[in-house]
Chain A
Amino acid sequence: MTHSKPPLWRDHRFWQIIVQLAAVICAILIVVILGLNLNRNLQQLGIKFGFNFLQQEASFDIGETILSYQPTDTYTRALLVGLINSLRVAIAGIFLTTIVGITAGIARLSDNWLVRNISLVYVEIFRNTPLLLQLFFWYFAVFLSLPNVEHKASVLGLIKFSQNGIELLGLNFSPEFSTLLLGLTFYTASFIAEIVRGGIQSVAKGQWEAGRSLGLKPSLIMRLVVLPQALRVIVPPLTSQYLNLAKNSSLAIAIGYPDIYFVASTTFNQTGKAVEVMLLIMLTYLTFSLIISFLMNLLNHTVQIQEK
Chain B
Amino acid sequence: MQEQTQIIVAENVHKWYGKFHVLKGVDLIVDRGEVVVLMGPSGSGKSTFIRTFNALEDYQEGSIRINGITLSNDLRNIELIRQEVGMVFQQFNLFPHLTILNNVTLAPIWVHKLSKIKAKELAMQLLERVGILEQANKYPGQLSGGQQQRVAIARALAMQPKIMLFDEPTSALDPEMVREVLDVMKNLAREGMTMVIVTHEVGFAREVADRVILMDSGSLVESATPELFFTAPKQERTRKFLSQIL
Q: Which A residues form the contact surface with B (CB < 8 A)?
A: 204, 206-207, 209-210, 212-217, 220, 224-225, 228-229, 306-308
Contact = CB atoms under 8 A, between A and B. Distances in A.
A56 B208 CA distance: 91
Given A224-B110, A307-B139, A212 B96 contact: no
B240 interface: no
Interface in B67-98: 79, 82-83, 85-87, 89, 91, 93-97
Nearest to B165: A213
B54 interface: yes
A225 B103 CA distance: 10
Given A206-B93, A210-B95, A229-B97, A224 B106 contact: yes
B46 interface: no
Contacts of A228: 97
Interface of B: 54-56, 79, 82-83, 85-87, 89, 91, 93-97, 106-107, 110-111, 139, 141-142, 152, 155-156, 159
Contacts of A307: 96-97, 139, 141
B95 A215 contact: no
B139 A213 contact: no
Given A229-B96, A308-B139, A213 B110 contact: no
Nearest to A225: B95
B82 A213 contact: yes
B107 A214 contact: yes
Nearest to B158: A214
A214 B156 contact: yes
Given A215-B83, A215-B111, 12 more contacts: A206-B91, A207-B95, A210-B87, A210-B95, A214-B86, A214-B111, A215-B82, A215-B159, A220-B110, A224-B106, A307-B96, A308-B139
30 contacts: A204-B93, A206-B89, A206-B91, A207-B95, A209-B89, A209-B93, A210-B93, A210-B152, A212-B82, A213-B56, A213-B82, A214-B86, A214-B111, A214-B155, A215-B79, A215-B83, A215-B111, A215-B159, A216-B107, A216-B110, A217-B79, A224-B110, A225-B95, A229-B95, A229-B96, A229-B97, A306-B97, A306-B139, A307-B97, A307-B139
Classify the secondary structure of A's interface with B.
helix
Question: Which of A215, A217, A306 has the most chain B CB within a 10 Å cutoff?
Answer: A215
A207 B93 contact: yes
A261 B168 CA distance: 63
A212 B33 CA distance: 24
A216 B110 CA distance: 7
Contacts of B156: 213-214
B142 A210 contact: no
Contacts of B111: 214-216
Contact of A213 (B85, B95, B96): B85
Given A214-B106, A224-B106, A308 B86 contact: no
A218 to B, nearest CB: 10
A215 B96 contact: no
A197 B151 CA distance: 30
A232 B56 CA distance: 27
B27 to A, nearest CB: 24
A220 B87 CA distance: 18
Contacts of B82: 212-215
Contacts of B97: 228-229, 306-307
Contacts of B94: 210
Q: Choose among A206, A210, A216, A229 the residue with the greatest number of B CB atoms under 10 Å from its CB.
A: A210
Given A216-B111, A225-B95, A308-B141, A210 B56 contact: no
Nearest to A228: B97
B113 to A, nearest CB: 12
Nearest to A229: B97
Contacts of A215: 79, 82-83, 107, 111, 159
A214 B159 contact: yes
A26 to B, nearest CB: 44
A212 B83 CA distance: 10
A213 B85 CA distance: 8
A242 B106 CA distance: 33
Contacts of A214: 82, 86, 106-107, 111, 155-156, 159
B141 A213 contact: no
Most buried by A among B97, B107, B110, B156: B97
